[in-house]
Amino acid sequence: MQTDSNNLCAHYDKCGGCSTQHIDYKTQLKKKEKMLLEIFEDNYLDTENYEGIIPSPEIFEYRNNMEFSFGDLKKGGILQLGMHPRGKRFDVITVDKCLLIDNDFRIILKAILDYCREHNFKKYHIKTRKGFLRNLVIRKGINTGEVIVNLITTSQNSHDFTALADELYNLEYRGNIVGFIQTINDNFSDTVVSEKEIIYRGRNYFYDKLLGLKFKINSLSFFQTNTHGAEKLYAEAEKYVGSSKGKNVFDLYCGTGTISQVIASKADNIFGIEIDKEAVKMAEENAALNNRENCHYIAGDVLEKIEEINIKADLIIIDPPRPGINPKALEKIAALNTPEILYISCNPKSLARDLTELDFSGYKIKSFKAVDMFPHTKHLETIVLLNKED
């Protein structure tokens, strides 16, 4: 779906999921560029080698992954399933007409909400720690059409969701539903934690493709949320890296192994480090799927595991979480004196902080560009190529 930014989402005046939908898309891009360059300049980083911003291929229905919350709009009110309204952490508004998500997501959200209302299930209250329903995660392989649905609940009800699974499988989608799962999460934090998994139908993973390669992804592992945007991002990263032939590549915070398998496929060796053990298993399976015999994956913290690799890196690829890199881990990365670092970031502020530290260690910005993966939000991906000066 491509639509004019003046044609606003039905939930836009209340939902906090996006904040700039009222602004023309070209203007959004200009504002993001301005924000990025100002952050760099405020941190005394060189912006001469900035190469512009690449727009998202789609500006609506681009998300392949959504985590919705169960809740209400007032105490004791009717059950809602969706997003938190702007400025309200504990309230939830149903977003069954959201324009950022695929229509299959809207169909599934409505069916599950109707089912849960009919059975009078109660939302989980994070303060009282009572209740049943916590979250709904829906993921879709945009290039394969495969959809998986993960209903996250507490263990405070032993309901059998077979009937709901059958109902979901009988609905009409653009894609193809391949799995319905219930994840039990009694953790006190607001983060989705898998303590037990029940597969009612199908499987707990799906496949998607990026630039000709196939990737297996489970319901909770990291994968770029904008598939066609990720293809743009990785294609640009590959241009920066050039030929990886004959090189040893470290892929830090590697997730399911997508980046290095796409952009450094001809390397002699790829060593990936990822703290999520399940993601490491997926990375190993993906390497086998794509005949990448040069890939080796290590489960653990970059701070500790980077010392276990006894081969000198010719290129380091870094794609950390939003907070950026642990300062002690960054010291170890800089101390490797690798000729090139490719830093991919979804947070310009933590990126600028880390680039400042790398600059002190002799790493200079050779070139950088932005890729808009998140239209109608303030978020932005940035690719930076760094060279080590003698």
Give the residue numbers marked as catalytic. Answer: 346
- Strand 133-140 to strand 146-153: parallel, antiparallel, or no bridges (unpaired)? antiparallel
**Beta bridge partners of residue 252, listed in sequence order:** 273, 318
Strand order in the sheet with 363-371: 50-54, 363-371, 381-388, 340-345, 315-318, 248-252, 269-274, 295-299
Exposed/middle/buried for 177, CB within 10 Å: 0-12, 13-18, 19+? buried
Strand partners, 20: none
Distance CA 11, CA 101 (A): 13
Which residue reads 């300062």 in tokens?
327
The helix (run of H) or strand (run of E) holding residue 271 is strand 269-274
Q: Residue 126 corresponds to which tokens in the numbers above?
A: 């994070």
Calpha distance 277→301 (Å, rounded) = 11
User: Beta strands 80-83 and 65-71: pairing type?
Assistant: antiparallel
How far apart are alpha carbons 262 and 235 in whole angstroms? 9
- What does the CA dihedral 69, 319, 283, 250 come to, rounded to 10 degrees? -160
Q: What are phi and psi of 116, to 5 degrees?
A: -70, -35
Which three-class secondary structure state does DSSP give residue 152? strand
